[in-house]
């Protein structure tokens, strides 16, 4: 497996450590915010501003890295900001400070995403981008397994000690920053394109190849109906699962995802990303169509297992496909724009699904998402899209 270069291993380890730090806080953030007196409205505003910051900045900083022909500084500063945000949460428990900390975290994600994905694409040997992105997703998702487990262990021994947990989360975040110092990047030819203002983060879409807009556009249509996993977990709770069972199926989902991501990438390199993505989207449709019809933990465990396979077949594979549809000097902008628009689409999706759920019921909300996923799968299955020359 020589295609898993030193840089791929290091970037994957950095993602594992960072996700471990972030996922230590993910399950308890709503509890902490309610505990210190935040309303549901403010929590929604907080997450909306944070995700919008990440979404808008991914394309902007991706273009900037292309212009300079440099990736590593964006990766280092991006992970550094995310690490810094963890102890910030322990300093003050007032709305403006928590909003600042979350914005710093999401700005760090936006700063690094396009450049990091471009580095991974640059490291991929011919025909091996699926394996590289799949391996990275596998280690990243392993952090999503270890993080909640570490948080549950700590809070079981020390109930309610959230601020100490924020400080503990700084440790893996800091280790991730240290590992970025070991990363070496390949020399890149600067694109020479001027960096647009921040509000023009997605300018690349206008000049992107038609094949890029076709495939990325189809995946973004799906993203508009792919709501946060939180809503799927809330549905499981509403359907009768206990809190411990909900956490259990979430950890199981991440375990399946982590185990299947690398094999899915290898399969995509062998069969082509289109086929693997289509299967993944159909699995999503099955999960969302079936989630409102089951009421036992073991059936939900089965659905969340399929959900893990869906994520493995789409997340890294989608990036791999998109990275092949752009010029080498535009990889940061192309991957950053795709990731940024995906973040904003996910925000819209969560709001849309929540509104449909509240007004028409869970069956309609999740059924609509399943139908769109199946429709996008059919479109991709029937669409031809040659890659850009490498």
Distance CA 258, CA 137 (A): 7
Highest mean pLDDT of the ranges 19-23, 32-36, 245-249: 19-23
Q: With H, G, I as helix, E, B as strand and everything else as coil, classify residue 191.
A: coil
CB 175 within 8 A of CB 86: no
What gap in Å lies between CA 136 and CA 265, rounded to an integer?
10
- What does the domain layout of the chain look like in residue ranges? 6-182+209-382
CA neighbor of 113 nearest in space, from 338, 329, 321: 338
Give the C-alpha separation, 118 to 122, whole Å.
6
- Please report which confidence band the pLDDT of residue 196 belongs to, taking 50, 70 and 90 as the band edges: low
Assigned CATH for 6-182+209-382: 1.20.1250.20
Alpha helices in the chain (DSSP H): 6-25, 29-35, 40-68, 72-91, 95-123, 129-157, 162-180, 204-207, 210-223, 229-238, 243-271, 273-291, 297-323, 331-360, 362-382
Q: Computed from CA positions of residues 31, 32, 35, 39, in that sequence, does the dihedral angle turn out positive or negative?
A: negative
Tell me how far CA of residue 216 lies from CA of 54, 195, 213, 246, 339, in angstroms: 18, 22, 5, 32, 10
Determine what percent of the chain is predicted with pLDDT higher than 90.
32
So what's the pLDDT on residue 281?
97
Q: Record the pTM.
A: 0.81
Q: Tell me which of 90 and 183 has the higher pLDDT.
A: 183
Triad 220, 263, 373: Cα angle to 5°: 25
Dist. CA 164–CA 160, nearest whole Å:
9
Contact 186, 328 (CB under 8 A): no
Report the distance separating Cα 373 and Cα 52, nearest Å: 24
- 191-205, 215-229, 324-338, 357-371, range with the lowest pLDDT: 191-205
Question: Above 90 in pLDDT, residue 323?
Answer: no
Of 111, 132, 134, 108, whose CA–CA distance to 120 is shortest? 132
> Residues 182, 60: contact at Cβ < 8 Å?
no
């Amino acid at each position: 497996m020589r295609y898993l270069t030193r840089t791929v291993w290091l970037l994957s380890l950095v993602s594992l450590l960072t996700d471990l730090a972030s996922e230590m806080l993910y399950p308890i953030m709503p509890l902490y915010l309610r505990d210190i007196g935040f309303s549901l409205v403010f929590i929604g505003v907080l997450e909306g501003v944070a995700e919008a910051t990440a979404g808008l900045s991914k394309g902007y900083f991706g273009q900037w890295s292309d212009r300079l022909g440099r990736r590593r500084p964006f990766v280092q500063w991006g992970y550094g900001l995310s690490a810094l945000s963890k102890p910030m949460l322990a300093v003050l428990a007032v709305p403006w400070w928590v909003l600042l900390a979350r914005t710093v975290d999401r700005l760090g994600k936006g700063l690094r995403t396009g450049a990091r994905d471009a580095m991974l694409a640059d490291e991929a040997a011919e025909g091996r981008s699926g394996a590289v992105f799949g391996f990275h997703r596998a280690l990243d998702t392993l952090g999503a397994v270890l993080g909640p487990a570490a948080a549950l262990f700590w809070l079981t021994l020390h109930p309610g000690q959230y601020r100490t947990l924020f400080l503990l989360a700084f440790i893996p975040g800091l280790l991730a920053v240290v590992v970025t110092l070991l990363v070496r990047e390949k020399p890149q030819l600067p694109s020479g394109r001027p960096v647009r203002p921040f509000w023009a983060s997605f300018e690349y879409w206008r000049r992107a190849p038609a094949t890029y807009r076709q495939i990325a556009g189809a995946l973004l249509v799906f993203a508009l109906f792919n709501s946060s996993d939180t809503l799927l977990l809330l549905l499981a709770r509403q359907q009768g699962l206990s809190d411990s069972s909900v956490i259990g199926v979430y950890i199981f989902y991440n375990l399946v995802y982590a185990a299947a991501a690398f094999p899915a990438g290898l399969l995509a390199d062998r069969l082509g990303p289109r086929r693997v993505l289509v299967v993944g989207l159909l699995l999503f449709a099955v999960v969302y169509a079936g989630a409102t019809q089951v009421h036992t933990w073991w059936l939900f465990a089965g659905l969340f297992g399929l959900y893990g396979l869906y994520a493995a077949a789409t997340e890294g594979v989608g990036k791999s496909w998109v990275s092949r549809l752009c010029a080498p000097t535009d990889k940061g902008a192309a991957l950053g724009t795709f990731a940024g628009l995906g973040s904003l689409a996910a925000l819209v999706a969560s709001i849309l699904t929540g509104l449909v759920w509240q007004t028409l019921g869970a069956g309609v909300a999740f059924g609509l998402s399943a139908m769109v996923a199946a429709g996008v799968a059919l479109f991709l299955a029937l669409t031809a899209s040659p890659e850009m020359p490498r």
